[in-house]
Structure 1
Amino acid sequence: MTIRYPNGKVYKRSGEMKSENKLKRQDKELSFSNRGKTLEDEINDTNIYYLNKQIAVIHKKPVPIQIVKVEYPKRSAAVIREAYFRTASTTDYNGVWNGYYIDFEAKETESKTSFPLKNMHPHQIKHMEDVTLQNGIAFTIVRFSKLDRYFVLPYTVLMSAWKEMESGGSKSIPLKVFESSTMEITPGFNPRIDYLTAIEKMIIEKE
């Protein structure tokens, strides 16, 4: 039975109000706990969870740099004053999951309608192609930061958009393509970005 106040507002028992307020606090705490974190932070946290649970071994690749100048202000501490990138980096992460080689890039965009392809680089596309040819799994995790939506973008979908751009077509991938042709990830608490569940679904659908 629904009971209303004279102004039409629904009356709620104290127990119902406490339960509702608790859920609101939990949602707020989850939101604040991830506020300020980058996509990279969230993926790193997720990878630690995977490793601790023996689900997968996936790490961020170290950036290859050549150190040119080092100073030693203290005997026990060295400070790098000058360095440069030795080679162009490939993708952000790689590792092994369930017998599969995993290799992927992580990108964020503030656009609410599309993912600009200028965020990718030709050598990254070529690297993903090489991984795919060796039966590895290559993809990009894309976060639409203004929408707080996450997608696993398969290499095949990315490659199709890239070729279209090179032929004079669109220079971005519309959000509607993500919604129809990629796997969306629902953010959670732990792991925060469970991208392997999306990859598993992608493999099942492919087979």
Structure 2
Amino acid sequence: MKYPKGLRRNRINSPNGSGMPDGEVSYGSRGMTLEKDLDFTNNYYLERKKAVIHKKPTPVQIVNVDYPSRNKAKISEAYFKVPSTSDYNGIYRGRYIDFEAKETKNKTRFPFINIHDHQVEHMKQCHNSGGIVFIIIKFSSYDEAYLLPFEHFLRFWECFKNDGRKSIRYTDVRENSMLLKQSINPRIDYLSAVDEFYFENGE
């Protein structure tokens, strides 16, 4: 079932605000970065032949190479380029998947500072071509990760580009996203949210 106007979230109301009942602890990503969690998750999916999804390598511009011997080359100077596309892509259930993954320590909002125009344009092209496109946002202070569908993200982005808010409020992320289940394996089960949002009744 799809949730176009405010998504159902797998959240349990609790006094501690963590999304977990009192006494229950989420072991999903304590001490882990979002990128490492997703690497573990993608390996889990791959090993079980559920999906083929990988992180795209960051483009590097090589400036200088030393050749100490005929069969050895050593890069002595190189610079990271600005990524031209989003962080992850792959195939799931016959559909192309493309998504960004961002982590913030901010407790009240997700700033747009780390997302670039060309990345959003790339995601828009993938979305318009029928791909499954979304952003995973992790609020590290709460140890909460959310899947924000691109069509919902785009509303906030277009507002920002028209001199609106330079961030998405935490409350708006919660309202327009799906809270992702975290566990030992998979670390962040984002494909369950993909099933629920993009495939009717998860079928």
Scaled to the shorter chain, the TM-score interval is: 0.7 to 0.9
Gaps in structure 2 of 5+ consecutive residues: 1-22
Distance change (3 Å), C-alpha of 1:38 and 1:78: farther
Q: TM-score, normalised by structure 1?
A: 0.78
1:140 offset after TM fit, Å? 0.9
Q: TM-score, normalised by structure 2?
A: 0.80
> 1:117 aligns to what?
112
Distance change (3 Å), C-alpha of 1:151 and 1:27: closer
Alignment of 1:1-207 (within 5 A): 30=27, 34-72=29-67, 78-85=73-80, 88-204=83-199
Deviations 1:88-123 (A, max 9, x none): 431111000001100011100111111111221101
Alpha-carbon distance in structure 1 between the residues aligned to 2:41 and 2:69: 37
Q: Select the structure with the greater relative contact order (CA < 8 A; seq sep ≥ 6).
A: 2
Gaps in structure 1 of 5+ consecutive residues: 1-23
Deviations 1:119-172 (A, max 9, x none): 211011100100011100111111000110000111111110011112221111
Alpha-carbon distance in structure 2 between the residues aligned to 1:74 and 1:194: 48
SS of the residue 2:100 aligns to: strand
1:81 offset after TM fit, Å? 1.4
1:85 offset after TM fit, Å? 4.5
1:75 offset after TM fit, Å? 7.3
Distance change (3 Å), C-alpha of 1:181 and 1:205: farther
1:74 offset after TM fit, Å? 7.3
Larger helix proportion, structure 1 or 2? 1
Alpha-carbon distance in structure 1 between the residues aligned to 2:33 and 2:56: 17
| Percent identity of equivalent pairs | 45
Aligned AA (1:193) = I
Bigger radius of gyration among the two = 1
